[in-house]
Chain A
């Protein structure tokens, strides 16, 4: 019991406490770095232990403060949430190392101490809360904690470009937030509880019209946060403006956390026997619009942002099939997508650091100038295009197998679109590769005095290039990017056990009665 309490609360409570301490430590940047890294490492160990415990002895439940079920805050870990937590923390750790290597983390703005480290820890706490929560309102609070931190991180060191992106990002996220709150109010009005376990019992008893209405509301509000087409408008405009490590952690985690919330709420509250046609259509549109957008872009970060949107569609596809096999595919793709997006954006950051721009037309020749960078880009790029034997192939294979097992015409049609999207992704990545790594290197330009991108990058990297520690810092960044890339490779290497695990996790998701028993029985005798 004590063990469960500790394991479930540490990922949320420890980063929050450390955030406060880190704020006090702001005159001592080195202490902040050590604290941040140590806390994330501790959370990672905790999450790994939680994962093995959940796998061996089933769901773990904590009623915070010992309050009975509908009143207190319920934390639940099952296989999917524990796995998601482990992957999320690995990525957060890699990005933190990268940010430390970049040295942007502790930059003071005017004479205000930098808030990067405390905010980053709050972000981790928010992500952990969303992944572990067992009620709808705490889900909302977790999202808010995470988003508040993300608002601060996007607008850290505000340039004109970041203020512009920040306005769009904060306004769209806040709209989604208020709609989510309204939806929670409506759910409470209808059922009288926000506990997911109780809801899973009550919601299926509602009239079909009311039930579908709530399902659509939840899908739409979480869809904004997950950047599901046609609710993706804000993402490609706001992500590229943030500093490279921030973009990487947002791209890897924020949208995926929303996908997790969609999967959790839809599987638990609105069980379906048949494939869900609406979500199938949305998944197909997301894949196509995203990847066509990526092909039309002229900026490395924007290409990656649109690719990110496109591949959200794959996870929705798995969910839309409403089968254990489909959910297995979603979980595998979820893990793959987190690691691959972090890796791609971190490498894009390295490219930006070398060339002071991310515009494709002004890049080139990096394959000879920086072969290591080329290799670091090539692996995740091939992985996201679904090349065997990398992780992306694993996820896509699972989804396509599920589609074939389902066999209905609409599912097979979407599977065809998924294949087409993979091909177009390969084309988009090939285009990036040709523009960035092949061809003649761009003519030497003056480092400063360019338009927007150059000027914006100037304050980021230029002063550092001249300092003596630059080589070591650059090496740490490359190591951090390599860590992200190799976590993707680890997913591919552990394909066998991971697939089996994902299948058990998907069975967990479909087993709603088990979830109820775990949460409600635990609640009755705390």
Chain B
């Protein structure tokens, strides 16, 4: 059950790193791309969790020991569907933000903006 596939582990690591970097950006579009990468990383983790690759697990064609574990694959497909739906929603949100405010930047929190205002003594509107 414990697969130690170094290549896949490195890929997962790289995807998590890239995804986290993109999450920290201002633009919602980049954040969405970050989530796409993170989603792939999580699905790869599920795949690796299923153990070594094997023939397709079809009842009556492949025996139980050599076939690939179908359960993580079922989980991964569920997760893919969910990520797809949320990505679509985030894109709609980004689009709405462009319509309403002219850009898709994630603004500062209200209280942060207030604190800034108190610090600098001036009203900052654009954020």
**A interface, CB within 8 angstroms of B:** 70-71, 137, 141, 144, 148, 151-152, 155, 158-160, 163-164, 166-168, 170-171, 174-175, 177-178, 181-182, 184-186, 188-190, 192, 194, 236-237, 302
Contact = CB atoms under 8 A, between A and B. Distances in A.
B56 interface: no
Q: Which 8 A-B pairs have the closest CB atoms?
A: A189-B49, A185-B45, A181-B42, A188-B49, A185-B46, A185-B49, A237-B109, A178-B38
Nearest to A136: B75
Interface in B1-36: 1-3, 23, 28, 31, 35
Contact of B106 (A71, A160, A171, A186): A171
A182 B41 contact: yes
Given A185-B46, A189-B49, A155 B93 contact: yes
B82 A170 contact: no
Given A148-B89, A174-B90, A189-B49, 19 more contacts: A148-B82, A148-B85, A151-B86, A155-B93, A158-B96, A163-B97, A163-B100, A164-B106, A164-B107, A166-B93, A171-B23, A171-B106, A177-B86, A182-B42, A186-B45, A188-B46, A188-B72, A192-B1, A237-B111
8 contacts: A148-B86, A160-B100, A170-B89, A170-B93, A171-B90, A181-B79, A182-B41, A185-B46
Interface residues of B, number: 38
Contacts of A70: 71
A192 B82 CA distance: 23
Contact of B109 (A137, A155, A166, A168): A168
Nearest to A141: B78
A152 B31 CA distance: 19
A189 B1 contact: yes
By CB atoms of chain B within 10 A, which of A167, A170, A174, A178 has the most? Answer: A178
Q: Which of B31, B41, B49 has the most CB of A within 10 A?
A: B49
Contacts of A151: 86, 89
B96 A178 contact: no
Contact of A185 (B1, B48, B82): B48
> Which residue, A171, A194, A236, has most C-beta atoms of chain B within 10 A?
A171
A367 to B, nearest CB: 28
B85 A178 contact: no
Contact of A174 (B35, B41, B78): B35
B49 A174 contact: no
Nearest to A192: B1
B89 A160 contact: no
A160 B101 contact: yes
B59 interface: no
Contacts of A192: 1
Contacts of B110: 237
Contacts of A186: 45, 49
Contact of A167 (B28, B38, B75, B111): B28
A182 B42 CA distance: 5
A71 B48 contact: no
Given A167-B28, A237-B110, A185 B71 contact: no
Contacts of B48: 185, 189
B90 A170 contact: yes
A182 B45 contact: yes
A19 to B, nearest CB: 15
A76 to B, nearest CB: 19
Contacts of B45: 181-182, 185-186, 189
A189 B2 contact: yes
Interface string B107-127: 101110000000000000000
Nearest to A154: B93
A230 to B, nearest CB: 15
A221 to B, nearest CB: 11
A158 B28 CA distance: 16
A353 B93 CA distance: 27
A185 B89 contact: no
B35 A178 contact: yes
Contacts of A163: 93, 96-97, 100-101
Nearest to B41: A182
A164 B85 CA distance: 20
Q: Most A CB atoms within 10 A — which of B35, B43, B110?
A: B110
A175 B43 CA distance: 14
Contacts of B46: 181, 184-185, 188
A505 B8 CA distance: 44
